[in-house]
Amino acid sequence: MELYLALPLTFFLVLVELVLGTAVAMLLIEPQLEVGPGFLQFMGVSIVLTLLIALWSASTLPDSPTARPLWGALAAAVVYSLFSFRPRRLPRLAAGSALVGTSGLALVTGLAAHAPAGPAGPVVASFAAASAALGASMTGMLLGHWYLVAPMLSSRPLIRLTVFLLAALVAQAAILLWLGGSVDRLGPVVWIRGAFGILMPLVMGCFVWYACRIRAMRTATGILYLAVTCVLMGDVAAKILYVMTAVPL
């Protein structure tokens, strides 16, 4: 497959991964409402906008049922956003859980309809880890800005997100070591993906965790800017490799 043919599906997959990972990340920081309602409202609107872009991206793919689960995810995101303006937590948690389920279904549907055939186990593991890394890094970076204007907020939510990010990156490193040899002809590209998309964010995540422990939140936010850029670039490279070679790195 030519590179330009892989780009529409790559864009769609990365967007849905981002929505799924962000929805899971929001559930991690939701329980005690330690971040305040303003952040929940901002993230709810951001997810709605991301889903609208994903729906447009799905329309560029060949005719398939790919967009249908996205409408369910959009409805769940709208409900989540609405309940973020009210103090009731349980309906918001239910909407967030529904968003996780519908965005996960949208990702599975897109893979079943358009992705190259391959063993299901490695694909599920790879996309789950990628979704977690994208969602944790992006949500963490955005959360970091709340500490800049409200420095007395608890650091626990960002620490949880950082641990979630580190776990996802370790899983991605294991998958890369497991499957990287399957694309020998693209060896340099694989190792570049590993260095910039996994190793560098892993090191940065350790620094973020330490910065959060000593409440250097401005430092943590700055590092997360770099980390989310590396994670995003690495995931785009991995998805292009997957679409072109059927190897889910």
| Residue 61 pLDDT | 81
**pLDDT(115) > 90:** no
> Does the structural domain 3-245 have CATH classification 1.20.1630?
yes
What is the reported pLDDT for 222? Answer: 92
Report whether pLDDT(96) > 80: yes
Q: Which pLDDT score, from 0 to 100, does residue 235 have? A: 92
Asked whether 53 and 15 are in contact (CB, 8 A), the reply is yes
Query: What is the model's pLDDT at position 118?
Result: 67
The SS3 call for residue 86 is: coil
- pLDDT greater than 80 at residue 104: yes
Q: What percent of the chain has pLDDT over 70?
A: 91
Cβ contacts of 37 within 8 Å, gap of 6 or more: 84, 85, 87
Question: What are the structure tokens assigned to 139, written together?
Answer: 């949500």
Q: How many helices (H) and strands (E) does the chain have?
A: 9, 0
d(CA 26, CA 137): 12
Take residue 47 and report the two structure tokens written for it: 């997810």
How high is the pLDDT of residue 78? 95
Q: Which residue has the higher pLDDT, 249 or 133?
A: 133
Answer yes or no: are the C-beta atoms of 160 and 205 closer than 8 Å: no
Token pair belonging to 109: 């549907």
Structural domain spans, the chain: 3-245
* Mean pLDDT, rounded, for 91-99: 90
Per-residue CA distances from 207 to 27, 78, 141, 146, 210 (Å):
24, 35, 14, 19, 5
Pairwise CA distance, residues 20 & 168, whole Å: 14
SS3 of 190-206:
HHHHHHHHHHHHHHHHH
Nearest by Cα to 43 from 24, 66, 69: 24
Most confident of 24-38, 86-100, 142-156, 200-214: 200-214
Tell me what pLDDT residue 76 has: 94
Instruction: Name the least confident of 111-115, 195-199, 226-230.
Output: 111-115
